[in-house]
Chains A and B, each alone.
Chain A
Amino acid sequence: MASAALSRRLPCRDDAARARLGAVADRTRPVTLARERSLPVAGSLGELLPGAALQRGTVVQVDGALGAGATSVALALAAAATQAGEWVGAVDLAGTLGAEAAAAAGVALERFPVVRLVPGALERWAAVVAALLDGVGLVLAELPRHARVGDARRLAARARERGAVLVVLPTAAARWPGDVSLHLVAEGGSWSGLESGAGLLASRALRLRVEGRGAAAQVRRGELARVG
């Protein structure tokens, strides 16, 4: 009795009402659907990507030997996401991700949670990445040695379903066992500013190769200007 009186008097906010509201929102949504499906990437990195953007719901692999600049490229992608207002989650296996470099690349650190997996928790890697894909717009995941084909397929499906970008960073011993829609390979470059016994590290010209499927099928090569 009291309940009936209550629901008459108050605006209805149950699931059915939400669904109806959602349907109205979909019908009256302003256009821009194409742009909403992508994260724009600015600068010389963006010029190398098809459409100067990352497509949401895809898997991107950033590869390169240590010191060749793969981490810098991945952080630049993370910066593009936080600048679009998204949250970025990182899975840091060795605890070596440089937060200062992230801040310098333009990542908003208050929207950049980092998950540290101690060696004992490595078997939870797939569960952690899947959880992050639920909550944030871009996940930066270092690959452990044992990443399985099944995990890769599940995570790619989860990213597609959630509209999140999964950026995988394989280490020397690990490879991403699934398909990727974009493959960025950092090929290193020469450092300038430092000489024999004098000067300071200033910048480097980072060579980058971009391969992929669809619009990115043609291999693009280019240099990123002034990457730290």
Chain B
Amino acid sequence: MHPERTLALWCPAWAVSTACQEDAGLADAPVAIMERGPRGLVVFAASARARAVGVATGLRRREAEARCAELVIIDRDPAAEARAFESVARATEPITPAVVLERPGVLTFPTRGPSRYFGGDDALAARVLEAITALGVSDVRVGIADGAFAARLAARRAEPGASGAGATNVVAPGESPTFLAPWPVAVLRGLVEDGAGDGLSSLLVRLGLRTLGDFAALPAPSVLARFGTDGARAHRVAAGLDELTAAPTVPPPELVETCELDPPATRVDEVAFVAKELADRLLDRLAALGLACSQVVVEAETEHGEHHSRCWRHEGGLTAAALTTRVRWQLDAWLTNHASDADPVTAGLTLLRLAPDRVVPATGRQLGLWGGDAAAVDRAERVLARLQGMLGHHAVVSAVVDGGRTPTERVRWVPWGEPRDEPVAVDAAPWPGAVPGPAPARVHAAPVPAELLDASGDPVQVSGRGEAPTAPVRLRSDALPGGSGVVVAWSGPWAHDLRWWDRITRRRRALWQVVVTCPDPRPEAGGAAREQQLACLVAVEGGRAAVEAVYD
């Protein structure tokens, strides 16, 4: 089946221009937009001046700063990008009603109707370019080809002329396979969900298939046998065919999820909760039918009877999280009124509707017949998300054991759901001055005040050289069961001079490992009061002692 002729509009530096719009002072500065990926914080997009000195996408923050000293680092804000992109989508609406947003900065639509109306693909591309440039967007690329994938690549190939305002590139009908053939297979990246496309493209290179043409020349049944359904989809796309073997099913109307908002919502956070519920419900019902959804229409109605709708598409099927994010972006774009809007939202939203636009048979994960790990993970994640909703984001945490000297320093608590960023091989090198021995099971993040006393009843002093003239004999603290205990064994003091290079945050302290005997607060019935041993870690800082941890 031949893919539908499609126009793709691409704003190459959308993230940067959004950031510049929000802060006019950045217009001429070298700007890099950072995004947190699996490798940590990396450059997502860079302005022309930054690119000129070698700041490229994918560089780590420190490498980027090394290449350009005056680089302005900004965190990526996809919501702001989507909000700003709404104006581009609106400017396209007079040309076609079937606009599909792929991500902030990229939109596509089928050209069959508009192309005939405006007198050919070239005329249509020029008209779109003119409409978007009139908004003041500095760099716009328009590509027309068979299928959305080829159209996006055609837009990337559009070379801006001397004027620099934008460019168009039209691939003649039927020429798409020839056009696609010389592209490297790396462009398949992002086509398949969850980074699986990454693995596929690098595997193809290792197999000696460097271009889409090489890959497309393989027989389709062999590709399906070797690379599975995702590979077969990538193969069809590389060959310039439609990514679906069958025509997309028109979803039955009862799959549309609607929610009335009463009272009407005027802020995004009021609707976001409803949106999440709607998205979950929609995908649950689709999953029960064995379907996945790759394109969804978000519709909203206001108190004044205004009707807004926008179509979002995601390669390889929308997950609940991806769908919720897109709905949230869209609501944000509608509810944040721009002065330039021709058709603003003038009142609160009264209705939110999610309608699946293209559904395809789901070929995704299948659970094992007897449940299995995936089910346990789902169950736990759901419960933890509920607890976070109930108690707050920071109330559910997960621990990462990191480098450091004391037990408190060695553990980093990360809110559940955030990347754990586990250190690589923490045991590779010892920390100078780290407390040795077994790890204490009770760690006081805020040390409990204590008194470490010598034989004459005075606090044990630690000199500037980290030496103690007297031996500790008694430890008094609320952290101990009886309030105080007799020291039977000790070791220390170990002096720590922390951050000695910084006058303000410098800390000096000394640590003691102490074993005390204290009376057992719960003696056995009838028995005499017994004594028990208790080991703890005592820190002395600024002349004050405190119990940092108890070995329970």
Contact = CB atoms under 8 A, between A and B. Distances in A.
Contacts of B550: 66-67
Report, nearest first, the 9 A-B pairs whose CB atoms are least far apart.
A228-B438, A135-B383, A67-B534, A99-B399, A3-B252, A100-B439, A71-B441, A71-B552, A188-B532
Given A65-B481, A68-B552, A197-B471, A98 B443 contact: yes
Interface string A61-92: 00001111111100100000000011101000
Report the interface size class on chain B.
35 or more
Interface stretch (A104-112, A176-184, A210-218): A104-112
10 contacts: A14-B289, A65-B532, A67-B518, A89-B383, A114-B398, A116-B397, A124-B390, A135-B380, A135-B383, A189-B533
A127 B390 CA distance: 10
B244 interface: no
B349 to A, nearest CB: 29
Interface of B: 249-254, 287-291, 361, 369-370, 373, 376-377, 379-384, 386-387, 390-391, 394-401, 407, 410-411, 413, 416, 420, 436-445, 471, 479-481, 488-491, 513, 515, 518, 520-522, 532-536, 549-552
Interface of A: 2-3, 6-7, 10-15, 21, 25, 29, 65-72, 75, 85-87, 89, 95-104, 109-118, 121, 124, 127-128, 131-132, 134-137, 172, 187-191, 193-204, 227-228
A13 B373 CA distance: 21
A32 B440 CA distance: 38
Contact of A191 (B254, B439, B535): B535
B509 to A, nearest CB: 18
A67 B532 contact: yes
A14 B287 CA distance: 9
Contacts of B251: 2
B421 to A, nearest CB: 12
- The DSSP consensus for interface residues of chain B is mixed
In the complex, which of the residues B381, B383, B386, B481 has the most CB atoms of chain A within 10 Å of its own CB atom?
Answer: B383
Contacts of B399: 99, 102-103, 109, 112, 114
Contacts of B551: 67, 191, 201, 204, 228
Contact of A198 (B380, B401, B491): B491
Given A124-B390, A201-B438, A11 B290 contact: yes
Given A194-B491, A197-B491, A115 B391 contact: yes
Contact of A201 (B401, B416, B443, B515): B515
B395 A101 contact: no
A10 to B, nearest CB: 5
Interface centre among B380, B441, B518, B533 (most CB of A within 10 A): B441
A13 B285 CA distance: 10
A25 B533 contact: no
Contact of A200 (B380, B416, B488, B491): B491
Contacts of B394: 116
B288 A13 contact: yes
Contact of A128 (B369, B387, B438, B532): B387
Given A10-B291, A66-B552, A196 B397 contact: no
B533 A188 contact: yes
A10 B384 contact: no
Contacts of B442: 66, 71, 96-98
Contacts of B395: 115-118, 121
Contact of B535 (A2, A112, A127, A201): A201
B289 to A, nearest CB: 6
Contact of A86 (B291, B376, B391, B401): B376
Contacts of A203: 438
Nearest to A227: B438
A228 B382 CA distance: 34
A114 B407 CA distance: 17
Contact of A109 (B289, B401, B471, B518): B401
